[in-house]
Amino acid sequence: MSELSHVDQEGRARMVDVSAKSDTTRIAVAAGELRTTAEVVALVRADDLPKADVLSTARIAGISGAKKTSELIPLCHQLALSSVRVEFGFTDTAITIEATAKTKGPTGVEMEALTAVAVAGLTLHDMVKAVDPAATLTDVRLLTKEGGKRGHWERPADEGPIPPSADDDLSPEDADTEPDISEYAGPEFDEEPRSAVVLVASTGVAAGTREDTTGPVLADWLAGLGFSVRGPLVYADAEIEFGLADALRFEPALVISTGGTGASPTDGTPEATLALLDRELPGVAEAIRQRGTAKFPLAALSRGVAGLAGRSVVVNLPGSPGGVRDGIAVLEPLLDHLLAQVAGGGSHDNG
């Protein structure tokens, strides 16, 4: 077993000397979740809690926490963070938290990403405690890290969030028996929900100077279709390739991006997407363009693409509410058949 880096040969705590290490770009992604009630989740999504702007407050708190990591954890180095992003998602009874920290320096940013998640989660707890004092911040963990001598590290798939115990809802007298779930047999219990990621390419939204008017619309639409949704993940236009890699990290069934598809010099979403695709779906992208052009001629300037990256369907949509509505109208009747075919099923009669 390797020795602990923060303990010297005499067993005393120490701060590691990193002066001999080379500066490299380092990125770390951490996650966690606040388990609460369905009522609280609905209130947060509707921004209807007594303490308003819940997610915005928690996001700023998480970013601030990342910047103060060396003050909170005594053996951490002071780092010049170049980027910190904190994003939220929802399940029926939890608010998920994901933080990405980035720097260029001699040591990693894992602790900054983890601190961002923890502080954002504690802030969420503070914001919802009037409604649910029993809310629980849990599963704070590192997902991936990049840079340094070891390069890429990714959390093994079997070391994800710890699921609630099967006995959590059993009374003490029933704790030694398995619950009878036969009465629940049905399509909704046959398999896990399909996963989807919403990705927003916008320098303004990433900087906090513009409101995201497209990502939440897509997330709500996909959740309404029964998808387990991650995001919206927000990346500046110049970092969209990192955003796509982030979105595809867990091989979701579907990734929908919005923004960065125009002719501006900073619009690079199509190029970054094409670099990752194994096969294109040109008809899907063209149908979205045609639907937009019928109402708004400038929609023809959208360069969005669609295709398959492994078994993930990736679709670029424009960064406007109208473009997103057009994309939803085109995609909704196609998704079930398309995803079934990609997964190895579905009829090919009309393919």
Give me the active site residues, please.
126
**Residue 128 has which token pair?**
């919802």
Q: Which two three-digit tokens encode residue 86?
A: 């904190």
CA distances (Å), origin 17, targets 21, 77, 106, 107, 235? 9, 9, 10, 10, 33
**Burial per residue of 324-346, b for 16 or more beta-carbon CB atoms within 10 angstroms, e otherwise:** bbbbbebbeeebeebbeebeeee
Query: How far is the C-alpha of 103 from the C-alpha of 84, rounded, in Å?
Result: 9
Closest-CA residue to 143 (of 97, 209, 81, 191): 97
Return the closest-CA partner of residue 96 out of 40, 143, 138: 138
Contacts of 198 (CB under 8 A, 6+ apart): 215, 218, 219, 222, 229, 230, 231, 232, 233, 256, 257, 258
Residue 242 CA to residue 86 CA, distance in Å, equals: 15
* Strand residues in the chain grouped as ranges (E): 24-35, 81-91, 94-105, 136-146, 153-154, 195-201, 228-235, 254-258, 279-280, 306-309, 312-317
